Amino acid sequence: ADFDAKKKRKVAEIYQALNSDPIDVAALRRMAISEGGLLTDEIRCKVWPKLLSVNTDELPPLPAGKELREDNKDYQQVLLDVRRSLRRFPPGMPDDQREGLQEELIDIILHVLQRNPQLHYYQGYHDIVVTFLLVVGDRLATALVEKLSTHHLRDFMDPTMDNTKHILNYLMPIIDQVNPEVHDFMQSAEVGTIFALSWLITWFGHVLSDFRHVVRLYDFFLACHPLMPIYFAAVIVLYREQEVLDCECDMASVHHLLSQIPQDLPYETLISRAGDLFVQFPPSELAREAEQQQAERTAASTFKDFELASVQQRPDTVLRQRFRERLRGEERTKSILTKPRTNRFVKLAVMGLTVALGAAALAVVKSALEWAPKFELQIFP
């Protein structure tokens, strides 16, 4: 009963934010991030467009599918991918209904690609589009997906994989900040980050079998910075710390372990942790490490980095970095004296930066794009 009361209260708050003038988008973001997300598909139909600033009053009519298909270079590949997407539809859905939706799915994808010739189709894109189609229907899905494709997903839709690889490069620096032992183990195993590629480019739609978990994550990602999915990927790896460390330290074993995603993850906890990590280690702080993933971390280069950071970044970042380096120093001495494994999640809990509070996370969401280093602004035009 307590849960129901909480849910009712949340629904009321969401509608209050939707009905205020102007619409309280910050509150809607908070609701999408905090426990349970947006709760129902009916609410998602109203809130998702607001999170993406899509005007639902002026939705363009959908073109006839036949014209789209006749001269579209991607048609054959899209057709193959959509035909293979059976398991993305609710089990027990009648065949003819599913086939109708698959036709709509093809049309939405071709429509977005035709209107945005700068975008290139990639395998896995249909996994994102089908999620929107099932939640909001074809017309609204088309508008939302088009906006998403020119913003959050823009990097995956380049002619090359360079920007996608660049985003994957954030994974190890995040893991390193929280759990150097897992990071070093993965580096020794030379596992790389390819195991997380399908997670990232489908927003986990391809790898999670329960649709409720997928839409819950979409609530979260739509309300946050475009890099949040890579933080969530890092949190899944960190959550599996023990399994990883118990694994044979070789590429094949670790890759196999990590690419099989457990279906019973504690999603709310992980979402909250991903938000905390984003607040503590925003992309602008990790950017240099992501860029230099291959470079050697010598004392001289880290000192130069630090000087550079002081010149280029806001003082609060530098202070945070100093604070963290001091913590690291203390932890190293402590860990030598006590147990070999330290997990910084404990410290996060103490700092109490939970995403449910929302304020800190939102401040970061808003400021992240304003003071990211230059190259990151090119990633997200």
8 Å CB contact between 321 and 304: no
Query: Which pLDDT value is given to residue 260?
Result: 92
Query: Which pLDDT value is given to residue 8?
Result: 94
Read off the amino acid at residue 228: M
All structural domains of the chain with their residue ranges = 1-155, 161-294
Choices 3.60.15.10, 1.10.3720.10, 1.10.8.1310, 3.40.718.10: CATH for 1-155: 1.10.8.1310
Quote the tokens at residue 241. Answer: 């710390």
Could you say which residues of the chain have pLDDT below 70? 63-65, 293-381
Query: Which pLDDT value is given to residue 2?
Result: 79
Instruction: Report helix angle 283-291 to 315-337, nearest 10.
Output: 70
Question: What is the SS3 string spanning 47-65?
Answer: HHHHHCCCCHHHCCCCCCH
Quote the tokens at residue 149. Answer: 């494709």
Query: What span, in angstroms and rounded, lies between the C-alpha atoms of 47 and 380?
Result: 22
Shared fold status for 1-155 and 161-294: no
Cα torsion at 268, 273, 276, 277 (round to 10°)? -140
Query: Which pLDDT value is given to residue 300?
Result: 38
Query: Which pLDDT value is given to residue 375?
Result: 34
**pTM (predicted TM-score):** 0.77
Class of domain 161-294: mainly alpha
Query: What span, in angstroms and rounded, lies between the C-alpha atoms of 267 and 213?
Result: 7
* Phi-psi label, residue 5: left if phi above 0, alpha if psi -120 to 50, beta otherwise: alpha
